[in-house]
């Protein structure tokens, strides 16, 4: 399969890490009225830096990237249900592909370098973003799928659709589970189980890869 290569990925790895951290930890605490446009802008940075952080990119991945980026902005401009649904589907596919490629990039690395550690951390955060897109779509289309104990009565629907899914996804992925947001339906409970297992499985895979590389390097010296 033909590969498209563009320069060093170190700078874009750093940009991707900062963008994901901003989306996951900073954006949710900003004023609700800023969420819609800021989320879209930050996700655009994530798309671009994610594609450029990879050492090798196929033309099919480039097509997926362009489609995801265009749908992200079209969904904001036209606000049609069908475009929103398609956009979220492309988001999920794009992030899953990026996480898989990052894991493969880590597995094929010769040594445990700072870049490999960075890839590992970014992959974990992107996995949380993948599940937050799932959860946001469910909360928007099936309000009875989750129960939440709201401490802020002024919380708006916009805030619910953007900050709560991120919070639930990362808390569940880390197997913390405060219990303030509870899945009520069988399919949301299955999703919560999948999020938990995926988070732990990702950590197990990455730790095994890193320890294996470190051990092989020690044995070869």
What is the β-pairing status of strands 3-4 and 181-183?
A: unpaired
Place of tokens 């569940």: 172
pLDDT of residue 9: 63
User: In whole angstroms, what is the distance from residue 166 CA to residue 57 CA?
Assistant: 28
How many separate helices (H) and strands (E) can be counted in the chain? 7, 4
Q: What integer pLDDT is reported at residue 128 of this predicted model?
A: 92
pLDDT at 3: 46
How do the domains of the chain map onto residue ranges?
3-147+162-214
Q: Which two tokens stand for residue 182?
A: 């509870």
Q: Are 53 and 19 in contact (CB under 8 A)?
A: no
Per-residue model confidence (pLDDT) at position 2: 43
Helix (H, G, I), strand (E, B) or coil at 179: coil
The pLDDT of residue 177? 78
Contact 136, 165 (CB under 8 A): yes
Cβ contacts of 68 within 8 Å, gap of 6 or more: 47, 87, 90, 91, 93, 94
CA dihedral 97, 215, 198, 64 (to 10 degrees): 0
* pLDDT value of residue 47: 92
Q: Is the full-model pTM beyond 0.75? A: yes
DSSP 25: I
Q: Please determine, looking at this structure, whether the domain spanning 3-147+162-214 carries the CATH number 3.40.50.300.
A: no
What is the pLDDT tens value at each position of the chain, 221 positions in all? 444 444 456 788 888 889 988 888 888 787 777 777 788 888 899 999 989 888 788 889 999 999 999 988 888 777 777 888 888 899 999 999 999 998 888 888 877 777 888 888 889 999 998 999 889 889 888 888 998 745 444 444 544 557 788 889 999 999 887 888 899 999 999 999 999 999 999 999 898 888 887 776 665 65
């Amino acid at each position: 399969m033909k590969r498209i290569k563009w320069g060093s990925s170190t700078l874009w790895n750093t940009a991707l890490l900062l963008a994901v951290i901003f989306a996951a930890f900073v954006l949710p605490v900003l004023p609700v009225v800023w969420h819609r446009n800021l989320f879209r802008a930050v996700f655009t940075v994530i798309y671009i830096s994610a594609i450029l952080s990879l050492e090798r990119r196929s033309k099919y991945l480039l097509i997926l990237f362009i489609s995801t980026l265009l749908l992200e902005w079209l969904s904001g401009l036209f606000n049609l249900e069908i475009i929103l649904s398609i956009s979220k589907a492309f988001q999920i596919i794009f992030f899953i592909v990026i996480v898989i490629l990052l894991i493969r990039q880590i597995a094929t690395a010769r040594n445990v370098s700072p870049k490999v550690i960075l890839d590992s951390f970014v992959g974990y955060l992107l996995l949380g973003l993948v599940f937050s897109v799932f959860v946001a779509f469910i909360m928007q289309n099936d309000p009875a799928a989750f129960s939440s104990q709201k401490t802020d009565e002024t919380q708006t629907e916009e805030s619910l659709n953007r900050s709560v899914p991120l919070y639930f996804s990362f808390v569940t992925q880390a197997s913390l589970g405060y219990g303030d947001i509870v899945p009520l339906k069988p399919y949301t409970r299955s999703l919560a189980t999948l999020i938990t297992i995926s988070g732990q499985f990702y950590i197990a895979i990455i730790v095994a890869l890193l320890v294996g590389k470190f051990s092989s390097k020690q044995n070869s010296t």
